[in-house]
Structure 1
Amino acid sequence: MSESEASLPLIAVTAAVGAIVLLFTLLCSVFRREKPTQEENDKDKQTANAVSEKSNSNKKVKPVTKSIKKPAHIPFTHEWLSCTLKGHSSRIVSLDFSPNGKYLITASEDRALMLWSVKEFRQKEHKYIRGNVEFDSATHIAFSPDSRALVASLANENAVRIFRLGKKDDGSHNVTISGAVTFPQKHKHDIIGVGISSSGKWIMTCSGDTTILIWDLKGEILTTIDTHQVNNSCGKVSPCGRFVASSGFTSDVKAWEVHFDKSGTFSKVKRAFELKGHLAGVYDFDFNNDSRRMASVSKDGTWKVWDTDVRYDMGQDPKLLCSGQVSNPGPALVALSPDGRTVAVGVDTSIAFWDAANGQQDQFLENVHADSMSCLKFDISGRYLVCSGGKHVHALHNVTGYRATVAELEEKLRTASGPGMKERLKQQVSEAREALENILSPSKDSP
């Protein structure tokens, strides 16, 4: 064997050993690199878990609460309640009595107008005649002086529409309600009040800014009034047909007199008087039937009754007759009976009856409606106060008015001199007491 042949196995062995050493070195290097990476991953996981725990600890844990259902409203019952009118499927937003005393009209968000008979208020059944407001719904409504037409403001169009009350052609004498004419849109803000004068010569619309528009019956604007009250909260026409008044953000109620000349042509609108005495904005106000008395309710938590039978053209201001505190805070409604003897103040779902002669509270009714009241108004005779809340209307007997009438007649009887006068007063006292007794102690046969 030669020397070169003997060295070949040695070289092979040496190469094999070197390869093994190199492989071992590479494996150790890889292991060293993977180990720190695994440790870093473990550290990252620990850091992430710590951050997550800290984040979860900072989060407010929402308590698990069970949904509480609002208790069902218990239907209102009271000895003063004459009836409840049901028929609308949505919230009632406005109502008015016809000047002839026969009807009550209600307007609802269900796009319906419903006409009710006042003489059925003491009956078990209450029928109504329905009219539809096409493509819109009425927000405020008022009867015309002849009780044959209605003036309504529209929700979507923000305009005025005249509705006619007619009779069917079938000879059944059933009344129909149909839209006749729509005035052009003129208000830039939502209309918050409508009215028509007792003379039938002009129509008033009041919007939520500071604008009052006086229209003729053809839809032409006669004049525009700027109330300067920052914004209007209420606008009404007096029952005597002479005044238009408004209240708003300021603490007063402003009244203007609408003048026509002898030929019946519109002349001007002139500032008449202001009710000054509240300390904050006035929510609502109302007139009695001859406009010699007014009532107002304010954000300052008070209601007031005013003598407006003054010589305002000579600079005389209305006189404050009495005042009282509103039972609950919040937006309020006020209604003054036609004879001026009763003041009703509605807040949320409660109504307080006050004697306007002495300012004493006579009755406080709670939970009259399931929802906040939207309307409060006496009928033409003063026998009923109607209030709407939600889909229903309640007609309440004006017991406070009967009691005030009895007290006033008894006072007159004490001072009466002639026998004829005394006899008439005794008869009137007897009739008033009998009417009051029938309300508070109805017979078993009565509804």
Structure 2
Amino acid sequence: MELPQMPEFMGLSLFFGLLALMATAAVARGWLRTEVETRGRPSGQKANGLPREKSSGGSKKQKQNQRIRKEKPQQHNFTHRLLAAALKSHSGNISCMDFSSNGKYLATCADDRTVRIWSTKDFLQREHRSMRANVELDHATLVRFSPDCRAFIVWLANGDTLRVFKMTKREDGGYTFTATPEDFPKKHKAPIINIAIADTGKFIMTASSDTTLLIWNLRGRVLSTINTNQMNNTYAAISPCSRFVASCGFTPDVKVWEVCFGKKGDFQEVTRAFELKGHSAAVHCFAFSNDSRRMASVSKDGTWRLWDTDVEYKQQQDPYLLRTGRYEEASTMLCRLALSPDGQVLALASGSSIHVYNTRRGEKEECFEQVHGQCITDLSFDITGRYLASCGDRAVRLFHNAPGHRAVVEEMQGLLKRASNESTRQRLQQQLTRAQEALKSLGALKQ
């Protein structure tokens, strides 16, 4: 019996089916081999042993975070035998700092939209805690404590005005910081170079880089406008005695005005007091001693000068030049200046370095190089003269004022030679001993 013949199309179907099965099996074997090889290789390597190219994929947020991590600068490291502490809580660059009048606190402001308040009693501790005040929708470029240490003022970078923060003490010893409902009105037309509050609490000064100084009351009303006629201002300040405001700039002098109030505390006028004359080029900066009887200045002519300002200026008596010294860095770059409370130590900063001088002898005592990773933005002694502080990157660095202790030793030794009263000699000897012990503890006692 003959078998029935299969149709031609069925034969073709079987043939192509077999081909499909063979192709599927080949692909499966290849995939399995590749998977085994991949698992046996390091993750960053291709099959040929070469490094695998990084994928350009990734989420937008991942790319942004990678870019932020890459751009964030590392904290600058600095060591020195006289370095007392480094305060490092800010995430942005610090532009200004201010010691409170009671000596208990240091305020710092940075472009991270915060103001931080540090306790000075923690400076020598291992950890340095700070209290944070947030500057909403802006950041502060300048900060100053009020005389009673219950508030501070800041200059807003974007708002171009003053803002007041009140400090309310909590039961746990910390503070709550509250901004007042309204900022000061906008009055300046040029960038601000400094702000200050008189220690009497009677007025506030703001200075801009044109030729304008404004005297305000505490409620935000302008009492007086001063035109310095210095082509441009580089620095301005209020004297610790609160009687004077002063400015320097393109001209080779420092101009000083008296802010006059009546017996009842009412504002009267601003009058010209005296000038510091003698520099041959623009003046970068100046400072007062704590008793306002001494002033120091540094100029583009490459010199610094110390002045006796305890004069009868109403009788046209001019300040006396006590000492002058060379500081060549001032001829090529902007400088910062700080004068110790007793006027015996002068600190000058240019770039990221600090030079410290004894004003009695005019000699350089210390030199701190590359203190910060960026240019120093502020320089100041604390109210006791124990520390010299500087800021420039994201840190504040505090130095022991060894030159100040040496100046006390020199002064006490000179006074002891002339003292005739025994009780006076004992008092001078005690001060001399304390200064010598402080230098010995710092390893800075000169033989």
TM-score range, shorter chain: 0.7 to 0.9
- Partners of 1:74 and 1:206 lie apart in 2 by 32
Residue number in structure 2 paired with 1:134: 136
Q: Are the equivalent residues in 1 in contact too, given 2:94–2:377 (CA < 8 A)? A: yes
- Partners of 2:86 and 2:419 lie apart in 1 by 41
- Partners of 1:233 and 1:265 lie apart in 2 by 30
Residue number in structure 1 paired with 2:368: 365
> Residues 72 and 101 from structure 1, CA distance in 2 versus in 1: closer, same or farther, beyond 3 angstroms?
closer
Cα deviation digits, residues 318-349 of structure 1 (max 9, x gap): 11111111142311111000000100001101
Q: Which amino acid is 1:154 matched to?
A: L
What is the number of residues matched between the two proteins?
Answer: 371
Q: CA deviation at 1:308?
A: 0.6
Residue number in structure 2 paired with 1:110: 112
Cα deviation digits, residues 386-445 of structure 1 (max 9, x gap): 000111110001110000001100111111112221122111111111112122279xxx
- Partners of 2:74 and 2:364 lie apart in 1 by 29
Cα deviation digits, residues 44-84 of structure 1 (max 9, x gap): xxxxxxxxxxxxxxxxxxxxxxxxxxx98862111110000
Q: Which amino acid is 1:108 matched to?
A: A
Q: Which amino acid is 1:156 matched to?
A: N
Q: Are the equivalent residues in 1 in contact too, given 2:211–2:232 (CA < 8 A)? A: yes
Residue number in structure 2 paired with 1:376: 379
Q: Are the equivalent residues in 2 in contact too, given 1:342–1:355 (CA < 8 A)? A: yes
- Partners of 1:358 and 1:73 lie apart in 2 by 37
Partner SS for 1:182:
coil
What TM-score does the superposition give when structure 1 sets the normalisation length? 0.81
Q: CA deviation at 1:178?
A: 2.4
Q: Are the equivalent residues in 2 in contact too, given 1:153–1:159 (CA < 8 A)? A: yes
Cα RMSD (Å): 1.6
Q: Percent identity?
A: 48
- Partners of 1:388 and 1:203 lie apart in 2 by 24
Residue number in structure 2 paired with 1:177: 177
Residue number in structure 1 paired with 2:152: 150
> Residues 89 and 407 from structure 1, CA distance in 2 versus in 1: closer, same or farther, beyond 3 angstroms?
same
Pairing 1:236–2:237 present: yes
- Partners of 1:98 and 1:213 lie apart in 2 by 23
Q: CA deviation at 1:167?
A: 2.2
- List aligned pairs for 1:404-443, cutoff 5 A: 404-440=407-443
Residue number in structure 1 paired with 2:34: none
Q: CA deviation at 1:283?
A: 1.0
Q: Are the equivalent residues in 1 in contact too, given 2:75–2:394 (CA < 8 A)? A: no
Residue number in structure 2 paired with 1:3: none
- Partners of 2:395 and 2:210 lie apart in 1 by 30
Residue number in structure 2 paired with 1:397: 400
Residue number in structure 2 paired with 1:198: 199
Q: Are the equivalent residues in 2 in contact too, given 1:132–1:178 (CA < 8 A)? A: no
> Residues 380 and 173 from structure 1, CA distance in 2 versus in 1: closer, same or farther, beyond 3 angstroms?
same
Partner SS for 1:373:
coil
- List aligned pairs for 1:309-348, cutoff 5 A: 309-328=310-329, 329-348=332-351
Q: Which segment drifts farther, 123-132 or 149-158?
A: 149-158
What TM-score does the superposition give when structure 2 sets the normalisation length? 0.81
- Partners of 2:294 and 2:310 lie apart in 1 by 7
- Partners of 2:426 and 2:275 lie apart in 1 by 42
- Partners of 1:80 and 1:287 lie apart in 2 by 24
Residue number in structure 1 paired with 2:210: 209
Residue number in structure 2 paired with 1:254: 255
Partner SS for 1:372:
coil
Q: CA deviation at 1:176?
A: 2.1
Residue number in structure 2 paired with 1:266: 267
- Partners of 2:113 and 2:285 lie apart in 1 by 25
> Residues 185 and 213 from structure 1, CA distance in 2 versus in 1: closer, same or farther, beyond 3 angstroms?
same
Residue number in structure 1 paired with 2:89: 87
- Partners of 1:376 and 1:182 lie apart in 2 by 27
Partner SS for 1:146:
coil
- Partners of 2:444 and 2:304 lie apart in 1 by 31
- List aligned pairs for 1:210-229, cutoff 5 A: 210-229=211-230
- Partners of 1:342 and 1:156 lie apart in 2 by 36
Q: CA deviation at 1:299?
A: 1.2
Q: Which sections of structure 2, spanning at least 5 residues, go unmatched?
A: 1-72
- Partners of 2:140 and 2:273 lie apart in 1 by 31
Partner SS for 2:324:
strand
Residue number in structure 1 paired with 2:295: 294
- Partners of 1:136 and 1:246 lie apart in 2 by 28
- Partners of 1:365 and 1:441 lie apart in 2 by 15
Residue number in structure 2 paired with 1:280: 281
- Partners of 1:274 and 1:111 lie apart in 2 by 38
Partner SS for 2:377:
strand
Bigger CA radius of gyration: 1
Q: Which amino acid is 2:433 matched to?
A: S
Pairing 1:163–2:169 present: no
Q: Which sections of structure 1, spanning at least 5 residues, go unmatched?
A: 1-70, 443-447
